[in-house]
Amino acid sequence: MKILAALFIALTLFGLTANLGHTRELRSDEARKLIDAGTIVPIEQVEAVALARHPGAKIIEIELKKRYGTYLYRIELTDPQGVEWELELDAADGLLRKDHQDT
């Protein structure tokens, strides 16, 4: 029984630490280097896509993340009616991946 408990704890800890490497938020200096290298599109480009999808909206937050080796912009905004939206765009080409109401 002790062996099973120890195995369960070890697998749980492994699972928790393994997930830490799958998604991470990038710092602004890292983002600038990626933009300058042409690896990702500038923030202004994804802002334009988000505001075209939700005219009159105000951007609350933009994050650049690396998830499973792919760079993604996550944008939170509020439309003129006060509804909050969350968009996810591929940072390599600026294409929209997700656009859903934030609940």
In a domain, 89, yes or no: yes
In a domain, 2, yes or no: no
CATH number at residue 71: 3.10.450.40
Q: How far is 29 from 10, CA to CA, in rounded Å?
A: 36
CA angle 82/88/92 to nearest 5° reads: 145
In a domain, 40, yes or no: yes
Residue 73 tokens, joined:
């912009």
Q: What is the mean pLDDT of the chain?
A: 84
In a domain, 60, yes or no: yes
**Which tens digit of pLDDT belongs to each residue from 50-67?**
999 999 999 999 999 999
C-beta of residue 63 within 8 angstroms of C-beta of residue 73: yes
Task: Please indicate whether residue 95 or residue 5 has the higher confidence score (pLDDT).
Answer: 95
> Across residues 34-47, what is the average pLDDT?
95
Q: Could you list the residue range(s) of the whole structural domain that residue 89 is in? A: 23-101
Q: How many domains are there within the chain?
A: 1
Residue 39 tokens, joined:
């690896």
In a domain, 6, yes or no: no
